[in-house]
């Protein structure tokens, strides 16, 4: 069952995005309620969680290789679940979207948690179609280069425009070498473009 577009607008991720983006993602979005200890999603699913009510904790779980039977020590290791991060109401749970790690999953830290769930493919589909959405997503990523790389690689813009998007959206600086890898440019080319930007700002 889909959710109203106005519902998504309550999350920072969707502020200022186009009606077309909201309409598409609201039709693809589902609301799910779950209780303490329930597994919400695994790393392969690549879901993006928007927390409506309660708290979601992102944790890792040891999984033994499938080519041999579980032993007692393996079972004991599986009960150790180190918490990576906790999200509260109104937050966007990014780790689940970024990772392909099969050992990563989310659980409720309250008796009842409600989240809106979007699939990775649906999120990637609108990247490049809606620049505001892309900027919002990058702005929420924190200093996680794997996440930045995933978003930038999904963009359908030329390398120069990719560079402009990264520079305007990220809340932290990146080296010229890293910027070059993300945008598909040589480090020298990135340096020239950065110098031009500085010159343009000075003239204005």
The per-residue pLDDT of the chain, averaged, comes to: 80
Give me the pLDDT at residue 75, please: 46
Give me the pLDDT at residue 51, please: 94
Give me the pLDDT at residue 63, please: 54
Lowest-pLDDT range, 29-33, 109-113, 185-189? Answer: 185-189
134-154 average pLDDT score: 77
How many C-beta atoms surround the C-beta of residue 189 within 10 A?
17
87-110 average pLDDT score: 83
Q: Does domain 5-123 have CATH number 3.40.50.80?
A: no
Instruction: Please give the Cα distance from 102 to 60 (Å, whole number).
Output: 9
Give me the pLDDT at residue 157, please: 76
140-163 average pLDDT score: 76
Give me the pLDDT at residue 62, please: 57
pLDDT digits (tens, 9 = 90+) for 116-136: 999 988 998 888 788 888 888
pLDDT at 78 over 80: no
The gap between the terminal CA atoms of the chain, to the nearest Å, is 50
| DSSP-assigned letter for residue 13 | G
Give me the pLDDT at residue 158, please: 82
Given a contact cutoff of 8 angstroms between Cβ atoms, the answer to whether 158 and 61 are in contact is no
Lowest-pLDDT range, 17-21, 135-139, 157-161, 199-203? Answer: 199-203
Given a contact cutoff of 8 angstroms between Cβ atoms, the answer to whether 95 and 105 are in contact is no
Q: Which residues contact 48 (CB under 8 A, 6 or more apart)?
A: 92, 93, 94, 96, 97, 117, 118, 119, 120, 123
How many residues does the structure list for the chain? 204
Would you list the domain boundaries of the chain?
5-123, 129-203
Tell me how far the alpha carbon of residue 191 is from its chain's centroid.
28
pLDDT digits (tens, 9 = 90+) for 32-62: 998 887 777 766 668 899 999 999 998 876 5
């Amino acid at each position: 069952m889909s959710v109203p577009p106005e519902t998504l607008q309550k999350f920072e991720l969707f502020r200022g995005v186009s009606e077309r983006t909201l309409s598409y993602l609201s039709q693809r979005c589902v609301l799910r309620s779950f209780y303490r200890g329930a597994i919400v999603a695994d790393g392969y699913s690549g879901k993006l969680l928007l927390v409506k009510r309660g708290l979601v904790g992102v944790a890792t779980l040891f999984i033994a290789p499938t080519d041999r039977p579980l032993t007692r020590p393996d079972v004991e290791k599986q009960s150790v679940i180190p918490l990576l991060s906790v999200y509260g109401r109104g937050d966007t749970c990014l780790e689940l979207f970024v990772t392909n790690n099969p050992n990563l999953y989310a659980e409720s830290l309250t008796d009842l948690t409600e989240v809106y769930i979007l699939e990775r493919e649906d999120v990637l589909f609108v990247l490049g179609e809606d620049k505001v959405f892309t900027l919002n997503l990058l702005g929420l990523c924190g200093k996680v280069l794997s996440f930045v790389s995933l978003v930038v690689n999904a963009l359908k813009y030329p390398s120069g425009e990719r560079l402009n998007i990264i520079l305007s959206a990220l809340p932290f600086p990146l080296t010229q070498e890293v910027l070059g890898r993300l945008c598909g440019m040589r480090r020298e080319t990135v340096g020239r473009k950065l110098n031009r930007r500085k010159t343009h700002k000075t003239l204005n």
